[in-house]
Each structure stands twice: as structure tokens, then as C-alpha cells.
Amino acid sequence: MNIKVLQFKVKYGDVDSNVSKVKALFEEENLSRTDIVVLPEMWTTGYDLKNVDRLACRNLEPAKSVISELAVKYDVNIVAGSVANIVDDTDDVYNTAFVMDRSGELVYQYSKMHLVPMLDEPAYLTGGKEKVDTFKLDGETFGLVICYDLRFPELFRDLTLKGATSIFVVAEWPLARKKHWETLLAARAIENQCYIIASNTYGEIVDETFAGRSMIIGPFGDVVDEADDNSKATVKGQTDGKEVDRIRKEVPIFDSRKREMYHFL
Ligand SMILES: NC(=O)CCC(=O)C(=O)O
């Protein structure tokens, strides 16, 4: 699968501008041989949490329709990062990631379960109550987590044991913890012998500076491609199930596991 991760600067609290930017980026890219396009976390609003009740999508709209149209227009699957989202006529706002296939159909959605205290999410958002699951795009099995979830290896192991050979991490990860971002992404790839496809925003956005460094890491921990920490970029790479099989034969950790010896898994 040919993947493109779009690294761009999310505009704080300006849904219209962010939607226009995403449409323009799709227009700019040559997507004729791309299978999956990936966006970052909270791309419609940024971390404007004080206004999130007013800015949030409702049942993923209008973001879902925009992404659906782009998927059909460019014949591409889209891992549409995440958006602030309210379900039906409730008051709770979730940080919800979603995925649309080439025909513009919703394939998967997941609301972030680990809310990040360092960005004040628990004060404004409600944590997702559904477990993560895998989903298929063009016959390949994927997983998806959101930003702070990166610090919880249990999720990645769950997804890998359910058959994911590539896991997306959609994020707005601050520069202050860039080292953690790079190290944990590599660790999750190495320990699960899978591709990690990570999208982030960059630069100073009101009171936080984000780390950029969107990247694709292979199942042996090698960086396939990465963006720098302070500019717009497109990160490109391919996933290959045969490479995952090869690495898992070479270092057979899944055969060596001792499930009965672990307290939690
Ligand atoms: N948006 C996030 O979840 C940021 C996570 C973060 O800052 C960290 O884990 O460190």
C-alpha cells in the first residue's frame, strides 16, 4: 500500500480554514498512485478546547462529508486523523478518529480513550468507551490510535494480536516531548514488528509548539521517511505484508511469547 502522510499547520479554532487547507492539500498532491492519505489529530479545531462545544463536529459532520467527497474524487482511502465530535444531541465531546474507504464509506471510528492531562483534555473532553479494533483497507489489516495512546503499549499489542500489520498514530504531539515521540514510535514498531504510520502537526499554535516529525517506520524499526519539525511536508512510504512476515520469522517474538506467565495479557 502506498501511503502519504500530510503534515500541515492546523489553525487554532478555525474549522473553515482547516477544511479549506485539507482540500487544497489534496488538490496539490499527485494522488494517482496513493492508496491511503493520513491527516493529524484534531485537525478541524486544533486544541481550542475552551470553544470546543461550539466548534465540535456532530456525528462527525461536516468533516465526514468533506472527507467522503475527497475519497471518491481522488479514489483514495483516508485515515482522517481525528476531530472533536459530539454524538447525537448529547453534550459530551469526544476526540474521534475516523477512516473512509475509496468509495467514501466510513470504515472505522475510534474515540481516544486516554485523554492527555498535559493538554487539559480531561477538563473538556470525554474519554472513548470502546476498545480499539482492527479494520481493513483494500484487503490489508490496520490499527489506529490517537496521540497520547502511544504511551500505552497494551493497545498496540492488542491490535497486533488481532492481525494489524500497520498501525496509524494520529497526533498533535508537542515539541517539548519530541524525544518521546520519536523513541516511542520506534519502540512500538520494533516490539510489534509492524509498520507505524505517524502524523503530527508542527509549529507554534497559540500556547503550544508542536513537534512535526510525521514519519513512517518499518517493522524492523527503520525510518522509511520522515518530515522535519517545523515545516509543511508529505511523508511517503509503502507497507508490505511480506516484509512483516520476514521480520517475524527472523526474530520470532510471537512464537516466543509466554502468555501464561504474564499478569495482564
Ligand atoms: N495530543 C496528545 O495526546 C499529546 C500527547 C502528549 O503530549 C504526550 O503524550 O506527551
pLDDT band at 265 (very low <50, low <70, confident <90, very high): low
Q: What is the pLDDT of residues 33-55, one digit of tens each?
A: 999 999 999 999 999 999 999 99
pLDDT tens sequence across 177-212: 999 999 999 999 999 999 999 999 999 989 899 999
Does residue 69 carry a catalytic annotation?
no
Q: Which fold is adopted by the domain 2-258?
A: Nitrilase/N-carbamoyl-D-aminoacid amidohydrolase (3.60.110)
Is the distance from CB of 185 to CB of 198 less than 8 angstroms? yes
Atom of ligand 1 nearest to the CA of 150: 9
- Angle, helices 63-74 vs 15-28, to 10°: value is 10
> Which is the catalytic residue, given 9, 147, 182, 226?
147
- Angstrom distance (rounded) from CA 25 to CA 19: 10
Q: CB of 56 closer than 6 A to ligand 1?
A: no
At 58 the pLDDT is 97
DSSP 173-197: -BGGGHHHHHHHHHHHHHHHTSEEE
**Cβ–ligand 1 contact at 181 (below 6 Å):** no
Confidence of residue 263 (pLDDT cuts 50, 70, 90): confident
Beta carbon of 119 within 6 Å of any ligand 1 atom: yes
CA–CA dist 70, 137 (Å, integer): 16
Confidence of residue 264 (pLDDT cuts 50, 70, 90): confident
Q: Give nearest CA residue, ligand 1 atom 10.
A: 177
Q: What does the pLDDT look like over 208-239, one tens digit per residue?
A: 999 999 999 999 999 999 999 999 999 999 99
Bridge partners (DSSP) listed for residue 141 = 136
**Using CB atoms within 10 A of its CB, is residue 216 exposed (0-12), middle (13-18) or buried (19+)?**
buried
Grid cell listed for 159: 491490535
Average pLDDT value over all residues in the chain: 97
ipTM > 0.90 for the complex:
yes
Least confident segment among 63-72, 101-110, 255-264:
255-264
pTM of the predicted structure, to 2 decimals: 0.98
Report helix angle 178-192 to 153-161, nearest 10: 30
Please write the tens of the pLDDT for every residue from 146-166.
Answer: 999 999 999 999 999 999 999
Pocket-testing residue among 48, 177, 182, ligand 1, by greatest number of atoms within 8 A of Cβ: 177
Strand pairing partners for 83?
Answer: 96
Q: Are strands 2-7 and 36-38 parallel, antiparallel or unpaired?
A: parallel
Provide the grid cell at 185. Answer: 514510535
Asked about 191 being catalytic, the answer comes back as: no
Cell of 223: 525510518
